[in-house]
Structure formats: C-alpha cells, structure tokens
Structure 1
Amino acid sequence: MTKAPSVNRREFALGSAAALAGLVAAPAIARAASKELRILTWEGYAEPDWVNPFKEATGADVSIVYTGSVDEMFAKMQGSKGADFDVVAFDTSSFKRYIDGSLIQPIDMGKVANAGNIIPEFKSVDAITRDSKQYGVPFAWGSLPLVYDATAFPQAPDSWSVMWDPQYAQQMIALDDANNSIVLAALLLGFPEPYNLSDDQFEQVKQKLIEQKKLLLTYYAGFDEGVKLFADNKLKLMFSMGEPQVAALKAKGVNAALSIPKEKAIGWLDCWVISAGAQNVDLANQWINACLDKKVGNLLSTKKSYGNTTDAEANKSIGMTYGDRLAWLLTPENFEKRVAVWNEVKAS
C-alpha cells in the first residue's frame, strides 16, 4: 500500500466503513450459463443510477463486491489471479504491482466509444500505460489540498511554503503519513519526480520536514481528528486529507476553504481496469463505456462529491477545476525507506 489516506477519502466522502455487498448472485453453475459482469470496486462507483441502465442495455446480470482498502482489493485479485472479477477500480499508485503481477490486461480503447468524452487533463496519464498499451480508464479523482481559514487569509495562500512560515507556528497541523508528507516536501523543494527521490533528495526532504515539525501544533492521523483539531483550536492551516474536510469544517462553523498551491498538490485518480481473468471482455468494455457517459460523470460529482473525468461543468459546479494542477499518485521508489525517513522526522 503506497498511501494511507486511500480508504479515508471514501469513508469520509460516503460516510461508510469497509463493506462487502452486492447484488444477489446465482449459484456458480447458473452463472456460467448467463451473461454476468463481476465488479470489484469502492462504494459510490457502481450506483443503481448507472448500473440499472447498463443491465437493461446489455441484458447482463451484475454482481458487485465493495472493498475497504487498496490492500484488500489487491489480495482479492491476487488470490484468484484475477479470475474472480471482470472489472476493477483502483488509483494510479497501484498500476505497477497489478501489471507486474499480470493481474490486469490492456484495454482496446477502440471499443470504448465514450472515451471521447474524457476531458483533456485526463486523456494522457503516464501511470496507466506501459509499452504503449493502456491499462486503465480514468473515472474519479480528488486531491490532498491546502486547507485554510479564509477569515485569516482573505486571499488564498498560493504556496505550500506558508506551512513553513514561523508566523503561523502552532497554528497548523499536517498529516501523519509517510508517503504523502515526503511527496509534499518534495513538491515544495521543486523536485521533478516526487515519487522517485535520490538519496540526496531524501536528505533534503527530511530536513525540510524536520524544519516544519517545529512549527506544527501536531500531526493528525484521521479525517475526523483533523477536523476536530482544526475547529477546536481555531487553527489557520492544514495539509488536508481531501476536499470533504472543507465541508466538515464549515459544518462546525469554520470559514474554511482550500487552495491548490503553485507547486501542485497530491492527487488521486481512480481508473477502471479489466481483470486478466475477465470472463467476458466485451461486456467489461461495455461497462467502462457506460461509466464514461457524461450523465454518469455528472452524478458522480453532484451526488457523490467526487471529481469526474467526463463532465467539466459538473466538476465546476462543485469547485473541482484543478485536475491539471495535481501530482497524481505513483508507486514510490522505496516505500519502506519513506517510512523510515518519516519516523526519523517524527523522532527529531
């Protein structure tokens, strides 16, 4: 697992814990005689609003298994070498291990007519391609932005350097998260590959994070904890876990807002992929095509508060117009090293 907040972004956006749910499936023998799409995904990505029209259009049954974490999802796929599912949704940081494990297959984009609906900033994503083959189709996205008290900052801070400004000492909190904290410092330092650092860059990142640690009130480990600390202590700045923390702070009476600084912010981008063990690739392509309908994109944003990849106006309606200013999550060069460096920062 390359990023701790993966589960939390869905839990706080949807108000749900990890669950295992789905449409009631027929026995294995009966399924073999019928057309069925088997989906492994996050809650909110396979809603009746678009599942039912898909079933009507294709005549297929749909079984849905929801996952609670990226590691749980990978274990389910690895356990059957992908044979238990046809389509899966996961973010850009996971593609390397799925491709290396031969768990997913390239997608023939010529069979996904609605790919033409994908808005420009999501048309070319390096993490989902290998050897000129495309393995994923972008579907939903969000970020880890800078959250601030708009009363204290009438003009939005435009640089992460504000969280290293001594005048705000003890008025800031940040994520207790190894990978994301290291990526943030790397972005601020201007390193072009924040997920692939040299030993010298690691040392610079460590010193930068130690410098910040002296100014923070504390680190926080969960969505609710961050919101509570910010509201209760009347804080001014936070390296946040995602856009929904703004709404949660507003609900507590905080004049909260978010900024995507000039150095960029960390972004997560979930994509639909086709399992290497898919029973019906054509049906899997039809599902991906259905999910790229602009109506689905609109619902994903207006009903579920995710950024979508096909309806720019729906993104605009919820204020998510900055997909081109995010550093999309990738698999880091050495996650264990990142954890070790982060522990050194916290122990300093």
Structure 2
Amino acid sequence: MPISTTRRSVWQAGLAQACAVGLGTWAAASARAQQNLHRTSDPAKTLRVLAWPGYADPDVVKAFEAREGARVELSIVGSDEVLRQRLSLVDPVTGGPLFDVLAANTVEIQRLRELNMLAPLALSGLPHAAAQLPRFLRREAIPGITDGGRVYAMPYTYAEMGLIFDRRQISTPPVSVEALWDPALQGRVLAFDGSTHSFSLAAMAQGLSPFQIDATHWGRVTQRLVALRRNVRGFYSLPEESAEMFRRHRVALMFANYGRQQLKLLQDQGMDVGYVVPREGALAWLDCWAITRQARNPELATRWVNHLLSLDSGRLLTRRQGLANTLEEPAGVPASGRLVWLEPVEDEPRRGRLWQRIIAGERPERLVA
C-alpha cells in the first residue's frame, strides 16, 4: 500500500509540535514570543536549549526563568538526524553551535564528545544528580558519557522501543517484531521515519546485529524495509503525530520509537491499547543533558541541567509523558523480552541514503545497498 503521508520538513514538524503541546518552535523569534517578553535581552542571560518533545514543558521553563531571571529559547527535534542538522549550524559570534545545552541519547553524546563539541560538566553545580538511582551514578559504566574521568552528559530519561497495539483489533498481544510485516495488518501499521533505528529494527527481525550490518547482509536488510514500507499506513516523526495518525487511520500496530511516551499519549486519549517488548528484544535509549563546549553561559546551562534533574521535574516528566526518570524506579517494567541499548552503527550516511530512497518508493531492483 502506498504511504499515505508525506514527510514533513524539519520546520513543519517543529511547528506542528509547538502548536500541539506549546513546547516552543524551531525559530528563536517564535520561541521568544512564547516566553515572557520582559526578560532581559542580554545574550549571556538567554539559554538556547535543544530538546525532544515533552522534555521541557512551559511551566518547567517558566519556573527556571523566574528563578534565574533569564530567558529560555527552546527548539524541538524529532529525530537524531534533525538533531545533528541543528547542531551543525554555527553561531557567527562564538564559532560554536547555536545551542548552549541539549538532550541526546548516549550514541549521539559519544559522537559529539569525540567531535570536541561538549564541555565536561561541573558536578559541583549538579547537586540533584547525587540522588539518581545507583545504575546512573556508575557513570563510567554508561557508554559514551565519560572520558578520562570527566563526565560530559547527565542521564535524564530512558525507554525501550516496544510495540503498541489496539486491543480492539488485536486480541492477543503480538510476541514478535515480525508482526509489523503481517499481511493481515497491511495498511494498519505505523513505523518511525528514521533511518538508523529502522535499519536496526529490520536487522533484529532477521536475527542480525542491529548496529553492525555485515557487508553481505545489506541487500537482505534493505529489501526487508521495502516490504515494511509496503505494509505500513505511514511513517511518523513526533509522538503527537503518531498518536493522531494512530487514531485517525484506525491503526492496529505501531513501532513505538518513543516507547511508553506514546503509550501514555494514546491512553490519555481514551484508546484501548497495549504495549509489549517482542521476543527479539527492543532497542532502548538513554537520553542525557549535555552542555556545548562554547556555551555562552556555562554556569546558567549547568543550573538548567540541575533544574531538570530535580525530583519535581522528573515526576512531571513521568506523569505527563510516561517516560521514566533517573531518580525513581518506573512503576512497570517489560514483562518479557530484552533491552538492546543503542550503540554506534557501522555506516549512518549509508543508512540515511538508502532510507530516503526506500520511503520515496523506489523500485526494489534499483536499490543497490
């Protein structure tokens, strides 16, 4: 079945998100319009934040602004690819990124650290971090966030990418990721519009390494994604977009890139949905806050991270978004299946190029991996 939705541009996706949940916008001018206009215009007192949907709700931002006498310019991303694009833009004054502080998963944190784009954190300015769960206090054991005894990112939230299903259409919970390819569900499946995770998902479905696709398996994995494209109703980028598509198109099954955040969105809208971790396992991410090396006010950025690590902020994140925080154990854990923590992949540009051709509907015989 042909894809029913076209890919949104970065700006359109960001604007749609801002309209839906009031979380800001891509453009700094629109972000300022949503903030208190009486704030100081001093660049050193303006914090430029790059985050994912739901990570910094307006009341959380306003509380920080009121305490610090500062202004927050919030930009939202919907994929790792968009995050990289935004961070590639250069501030003409500092020569660094256009953002002071950002939220990203550990794979992206490692990449940014290796590019010398992140500053080591001043742990003395992060007292809330001391209350994190023991597994997050063992920071050296978390791949990508430390180097040479210095900490470059602070864990914030985590989730597994499970499967969400409509109980009215699927009475027995799916046990395998192969359900996404089930011919009986053709036109009633949603998938995530992201090259890296999509290739990892298709590799896992075939019992292959999700992060290091062997040279002999590229064609096999690519064809599997072509088959997925034919089975899905459409591809989404943002959580709210997925919930709207799920409801409007009477979707039966969705690959939940945002995990329990999407589950909560649908449940809050009255949908009778279930959530499973398939037997092959689920890709899982850990998002962290980090400060860019050329942040205009590192102390203000540090106070922002500490603000988001507070118990109050963590509980708001869990209650509103359904995402786990790093201070309390989640109320529920997957009953089955294993978590496959994200790792760097073998060739991201290659995945990106092939993915664009796949979702554009290019004929399979022309897709040479």
TM-score (norm 1): 0.73
**2:87 maps to 1:74:** yes
Counterpart contact for 2:200–2:211, Cα < 8 Å: yes
Structure 1, unmatched stretches of 5+, are none
Across the two proteins, how many residue pairs are aligned to each other?
330
In 1, Cα distance between equivalents of 2:39 and 2:120: 27
Q: What do the CA deviations read for 1:207-261 (whole angstroms, capped 9, x no partner)? A: 43345455x1544345577556654554432224534544565677753222222
Identity of paired residues, percent?
23
- CA displacement at 1:73 relative to structure 2: 3.8
Q: Can you give the 5+ residue segments of structure 2 that lack an aligned partner in the other structure?
A: 1-8, 78-82, 365-369
Structure 2 distance, partners of 1:264, 1:41, is 30
Q: Which amino acid aligns with 1:26?
A: T
Q: Of 79, 85, 91, which aligns to 2:105? A: 91
**Matches for 1:324-343 after TM superposition, within 5 Å:** 326-342=339-355, 343=357
- Answering whether residue 315 of structure 2 is matched by residue 310 of structure 1, we say no
Of 109, 119, 139, the match for 2:133: 119
Q: Which residue pairs with 1:14 in the alignment?
A: 21
Contact 2:202 2:224 in 1 (8 A): yes
Query: Matched residue of 2:155: which SS?
Result: strand
Give CA deviations for 1:81-128 in whole Å, capped at 9, x if unaligned: 448754333333432443243221122446533223223554543132
Is 1:292 paired with 2:292? no
Shift of 1:78: 5.8
Using a 3 Å threshold, how does the CA distance of structure 1 residues 117 and 77 change in structure 2: closer, same or farther?
farther
Aligned-partner Cα distance in 1 for 2:136–2:208: 23
Equivalents in 1 of 2:148, 2:120: separation in Å?
10
User: Is residue 265–residue 321 contact of structure 2 (8 Å, CA) maintained in 1?
Assistant: no
Matching residue within 271, 274, 279 for 1:257: 274
Structure 1 residue 183: deviation in Å? 1.4
2:60 corresponds to 1:45: no
CA-based RMSD: 4.1
Paired residue for 2:195?
A: 178
Of the structure 1 ranges 257-266 and 228-237, higher mean CA displacement relative to structure 2 is found in 228-237
- Specify the alignment match of 1:220 in structure 2: 235
- Residues 116 and 164 (structure 1), Cα distance of their counterparts in 2 relative to 1, 3 Å cut: same
CA distance in 2 between partners of 1:284 and 1:211 (Å): 45
Matched to 1:45, the amino acid is: A
Cα distance 1:53–1:64, how it changes in 2: closer, same or farther (>3 A)? closer
Instruction: Give TM-score, length-normalised by structure 2.
Output: 0.70
CA 126–103 in structure 1, closer or farther in 2 if over 3 Å, else same: same
